[in-house]
Structure 1
Amino acid sequence: MLVKTRGIVLNHIKYRESSIIARVYTEQLGIQSYIINGLRKKGTGSRIGLFQPFTLLDMVVYTSPKGGLTRISEYKSAYPFHSIPFDIRKSSIVLFLSEVVSRTIKEEEENAALFSFLYHSIILFDELESDFENFHLLFLLQLSSHLGFGPSSGAEIVEQVAFSGNTQSNTSAPSVLVLQVHEALFNGLLHQPDQAVIPNGKVRRELLSIIIRYYQLHVDKLGEIKSLAILSEVLSE
């Protein structure tokens, strides 16, 4: 059976000599994995570019009642990026966020609200010309609401993380006093995102670390976000 759907590429891995397996969050079918043949042959560089993280696609895909790997009948770009591939800061943020999304969304079913949030957030990010340093923080806080564990206040984040003990991290949770310093900043990001001001890159990295800990409390086996180190280096000040 063929289904027409939009899709958001999360990642891909090499498969055999010239093919890939792409993991895609689709509008109609949720998370799916597809085999795409011949993409790694000489002269097909532009086509494999369509399977980079957070690329937006229009697709016609095969479905199987048994699930598992299927194939894409047709695919094309739904929105050609204007800035993300050409700005190392943006591409690093996208790599990081796509890894988080890939680790947190597991359902093979339709979720119109979640798909719409992801799809339009990616377009908005590509269109931003400046002042996007906090985008990943806002994205993760808003994504947590779509996943069912969104905080209502900075105090909620602080309390849960501070009293969590040793979560999935190799280090113990920060003290309440350390975290409370950032409570007002979280409130700003949650309730007045357009006016939120993060003083510097150091504080921004601390906020991100706390958000990741918060995710670890709510997402089973979230594990280490490997692209975090790259993001921290690129956005360091």
Structure 2
Amino acid sequence: MLHKTRGIALSYIRYRESSIIAKIYTEAFGIQTYIVNGVRSSKSKTNRIAFFQPLTLLDMVVYHKRKEDSIHRISEIKCYAPFFTIPYDVTKSGLALFMTEMLGKTLREEENNEPLFHFIEQSVLYLDEAETGFENFHIQFLVQLAHYLGFGVETVHDLESELKANHYPHLPDAQEHQVTEQMLENGYGLSVALDRTRRANILEKMIFFYKIHMEGLGEIKSLDVLREVLR
């Protein structure tokens, strides 16, 4: 049966000679896997592989036979909001890579969740459109995403109490404590004076917080990229 849905591309792997298997977070069906034939063929007249680059915002017509099926097919696809800066800005590309990895590890529901989809969509659009003040975007993204995943905290006291109860080794200094509090209380665009070491410490704290609630989160490989692009 054919369905219309919007989607956010997360990742893909090569499959056979010219196909891919793509992971996409959809508005109608949650996280889904699609096989796409012929996108890597030299005979392809269009660059369809570009649709599956991380965080690309997609309009799709998809073919789902049964809910029990683990892999589905795409009938039609197009990008509804082309990026202006993310692919061309090294810092934004690094932030997007981290965002994509975290989404790939935390989005597990195969059912619709429109508030979560809209939050991710608006976060992607914010990052692409932001001219300044996005150096803490990845931390603020994790703070807000936690609420949609069901384990967000309201205050820095609640966060640090939970970290302490789970034997987190690093104690925040006064500035880290204050900045974390500001991030919990504000949305994107918060501009705070934060050096590289303290930003890394706060991010490490948030990832540990996620590991408390998300079993099997594992190593976050994109952290190495963030260390290079965020000075």
TM-score, scaled to structure 2: 0.93
Q: For residues 132 and 123 of structure 1, what CA distance do their matches in structure 2 show?
A: 12
The aligned residue for residue 57 of structure 2 is 56
Distance 1:232 1:154 in 2: 24
Is there any run of 5+ residues in structure 2 with no aligned partner, and where?
Answer: none
Structure 1: runs of 5+ lacking an equivalent: 166-172
Which of 209, 212, 230 lines up with 1:214 in the alignment?
209
**Equivalent residue letter for 1:64:** K
Q: Deviations over 1:157-180 (max 9, x none)?
A: 222122313xxxxxxx324xx225
Quote how far apart the aligned CAs of 1:8 are.
0.3
Q: Report the alpha carbon displacement of residue 185 of structure 1 after superposing the two structures with TM.
A: 1.2
- CA distance in 1 between partners of 2:19 and 2:152 (Å): 38
SS at match of 1:86: coil
Equivalent residue, structure 1, for 2:152? 150
Partner in structure 2 of residue 19 of structure 1? 19
Correspondence for 1:71: 73
Measured in 1, the distance between the counterparts of 2:166 and 2:96 equals: 28
Aligned residue number for residue 29 of structure 1: 29
Task: Select 2:104's aligned residue among 102, 105, 108.
Answer: 102
- Across the aligned residues of Structure 1 and Structure 2, the Cα RMSD in angstroms comes to 1.5
- 1:140 equivalent among 139, 142, 145: 142
Question: What is the aligned partner in structure 2 of residue 204 from structure 1?
Answer: 199
Partner Cα separation in structure 2 for residue 16 and residue 88 of structure 1: 31
Partners of 1:29 and 1:110 within 8 A in 2: yes
SS across alignment from 1:204: helix
Task: Go from structure 1 to structure 2 and tell me whether the alpha carbon gap of 1:112 and 1:81 turns closer, same or farther (over 3 Å shift).
Answer: same
2:7 corresponds in structure 1 to: 7
Verify the 8 A CA contact 2:35 2:74 in the aligned structure 1: yes
The CA distance in 2 between the partners of 1:149 and 1:43, in whole Å, is 48
What amino acid is the match of 1:200? D
Contact 2:39 2:47 in 1 (8 A): no
Measure the CA separation in 2 of the matches of 1:152 and 1:209: 19
String of CA shifts for 1:33-58, please: whole Å, max 9, x gaps.
Answer: 00111111226573211101111000
- SS of residue paired to 1:162: helix
TM-score, normalised relative to structure 1: 0.91
Task: Measure, in 1, the Cα distance between the counterparts of 2:203 and 2:143.
Answer: 10
1:25 partner amino acid: Y
- Which digits, 9 at most, give the CA deviation of each residue in 1:39-78, with x for residues without a partner? 1122657321110111100000011212211110000001
Q: Is the 8 A contact 1:34 1:71 kept in 2?
A: yes
Deviation of 1:192 (Å): 3.2
How many residue pairs get aligned? The number is 227
